[in-house]
């Protein structure tokens, strides 16, 4: 039975790498995929991984009907044996419904990849719809780690290394961007305390936390 699968996790946990591996293994066996993405850091119409791999993809527009797009593609003699949708958190809820329809009415597997929650730990609307509709939600096996060594479960937005909680939900960016707006993955404890690697380092160096010598 074809499935809608949501591979979810924090930023930097290997989602795009897995998407590229699925694409590679299937195309090596003569299958042809339809690859959708939206706002990848590598630029328009790209699906890229931090491991350096990149492939071309269809850049999804705001009001694009993904079901209609596939029907049109197939009716013009194109093939689509499976669908990959990266950065799926940026898709509109209606577009996730269209992907579910692709599975149910066109009998095509859809593999969606995305972060579940934003920098305020609120669900992205597209991810919420995926959790509601997916046949399976898969958490990636390679865990991203918080600076403390615990599994990272949350995404923080940082400016100059400090966590911020105000701003637009969507700001395309990357981890390890200390100077500018960037992101850092944290465990829940440190996300709640707004404690990033930089602020933890700074407080460890602060005289306030040095052990007091007994007089």
Ligand X SMILES: Nc1ncnc2c1ncn2[C@@H]1O[C@H](COP(=O)(O)OP(=O)(O)O)[C@@H](O)[C@H]1O
Active site residues: 87
16 assigned to a ligand binding site = yes
Among 5, 12, 60, 69, binds ligand X (CB under 6 A): 12
Measured distance CA(173)–CA(180) in Å, rounded:
10
Select 69 or 119, whichever has its Cβ closest to ligand LXEULUCI: 119
Residue 11 contacts ligand LXEULUCI per CB under 6 A: yes
Residue 171 contacts ligand LXEULUCI per CB under 6 A: yes
Select 101 or 147, whichever has its Cβ closest to ligand LXEULUCI: 147
Measured distance CA(199)–CA(80) in Å, rounded:
48
3-state helix, strand, coil in the chain (%, to 5): 30, 25, 45
Show Cβ contacts of residue 20 under 8 Å, excluding neighbours closer than 6 positions: 47, 49, 53, 55
82 assigned to a ligand binding site = no
Show Cβ contacts of residue 215 under 8 Å, excluding neighbours closer than 6 positions: none
Report the interhelical angle of 66-75 vs 93-106 (nearest 10°).
Answer: 40
* Residue 118 site contact among ligand LXEULUCI, ligand X, none (CB < 5 to 8 Å, cut-off depends on kind): ligand LXEULUCI
Residue 170 contacts ligand LXEULUCI per CB under 6 A: yes
107 assigned to a ligand binding site = no
46 assigned to a ligand binding site = no
Among 8, 37, 49, 117, binds ligand X (CB under 6 A): 49
Residue 115 contacts ligand LXEULUCI per CB under 6 A: yes
Residue 182 contacts ligand X per CB under 6 A: no
Taken in order 99, 103, 109, 113, the sign of the CA dihedral is positive
Measured distance CA(79)–CA(76) in Å, rounded:
9
Among 51, 139, 148, 172, binds ligand LXEULUCI (CB under 6 A): 172
Helices (H), strands (E): how many in the chain? 6, 11
Q: Which residue ranges make up the annotated binding site for substrate? A: 170-173, 183
Residues making contact with ligand LXEULUCI (CB under 6 A): 11-12, 15-16, 41, 115, 118-119, 155, 157, 169-173, 183
């Amino acid at each position: 039975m074809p499935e809608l699968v949501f591979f979810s996790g924090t930023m930097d946990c290997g989602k795009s790498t897995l998407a590229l591996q699925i694409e590679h293994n299937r195309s090596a066996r003569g299958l042809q995929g339809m690859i959708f993405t939206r706002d990848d850091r590598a630029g328009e119409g790209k699906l890229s991984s931090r491991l350096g791999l990149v492939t071309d993809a269809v850049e999804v527009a705001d009001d694009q009907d993904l079901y209609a797009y596939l029907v049109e593609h197939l009716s013009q003699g194109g093939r689509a044996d499976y669908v990959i949708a990266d950065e799926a958190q940026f898709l509109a809820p209606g577009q996730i419904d269209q992907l579910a329809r692709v599975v149910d009415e066109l009998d095509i597997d859809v593999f969606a990849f995305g972060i579940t929650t934003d920098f305020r730990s609120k669900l992205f609307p597209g991810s919420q719809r995926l959790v509601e509709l997916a046949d399976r939600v898969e958490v990636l096996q390679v865990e991203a780690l918080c600076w403390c060594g615990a599994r990272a479960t949350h995404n923080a937005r940082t400016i100059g290394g400090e966590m911020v909680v105000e701003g637009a939900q969507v700001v395309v960016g990357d981890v390890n961007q200390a100077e500018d707006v960037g992101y850092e993955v944290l465990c829940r404890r440190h996300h709640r305390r707004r404690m990033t690697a930089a602020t933890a380092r700074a407080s460890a160096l602060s005289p306030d936390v040095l052990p007091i010598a007994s007089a």
